[in-house]
Structures are given as structure tokens and as C-alpha cells.
Amino acid sequence: MNKGLPPNSEIGHPRFTHLFARITEEDGGYVIQVRLHNDMIASSDDAAWGEEIADSIETASEMIAVLATRFSIPQDRITLEIRMEDVAENTRH
């Protein structure tokens, strides 16, 4: 059993129900911060998080899509925050 991770699904991956992702534009690149969690399990230990760097916002978006697909997280359970260097371009979806 994976200590600190939600119970495994039938395919052996931890069961995550939600994905939060933040894409931040920094120095001509994009930092992607993600957090996966299961809302059925109250412990904050039952989450996974990480950070990656991408060269484009398209690549950053693809990375997030891969995670959502791998863990079968539906679109309505994905929160995406985008922070651009130009404050006027910041959006939250």
C-alpha cells in the first residue's frame, strides 16, 4: 500500500479526484505547479504536488492535460490559474 497516497485505482494509480494547476510566466518561460487530491479523503497527506518548467504555455497546458488524463480527472474538477508577467493579462478560470 502507498503510504500517504489515496487508495489505488484498478489500474494501480492512486485515486485523485481533483487537480489544481497554476501556470506562471517567468523570465520567458512558464512554471507549472500542480496539486492532485482526493476530496473523499480528508487528510492532506493524501495529495500529490509538483512543479515543472515549460518553454511555452502550450507545453504547460499539455502537461496538465496529461495528468488529468492519467488520473481520469474530469474537466469540471480541474482548477486552472494563469499568471502572466503583465498584470493586465492575468486570468483565473
34-63: pLDDT as tens digits:
999 987 765 556 789 999 999 999 999 999
Whole-angstrom distance, CA of residue 46 vs CA of residue 3: 9
Mean pLDDT of the chain: 82
Instruction: Quickly count: other Cβ atoms within 10 Å of residue 83's Cβ.
Output: 16
Asked if 8 contacts 2 with a C-beta cutoff of 8 angstroms, the reply is yes
pLDDT (tens digit per residue) in 73-82: 999 999 999 9
How many distinct structural domains can be found in the chain? Answer: 1
Cα dihedral 62, 64, 68, 71 in deg (nearest 10):
110
Query: Does the pTM of the predicted model rise above 0.75?
Result: no
- Range(s) of the domain holding residue 40: 1-48+55-85
Does any domain span residue 13? yes
Buried b or exposed e, range 16-41, using 16+ CB within 10 angstroms: bbbbbbbbbbeeeebbbebebbbeeb
At 51 the pLDDT is: 97
Is residue 93 domain-resident? no
Please indicate, yes or no, if residue 5 is contained in any of the structural domains. yes
Q: Which of 49, 62, 57 is nearest to 85 (CA)?
A: 57
Is residue 92 in some structural domain? no
Examine residue 25 and state whether it is found in any structural domain, yes or no: yes
Q: What is the mean pLDDT of residues 86-92?
A: 59
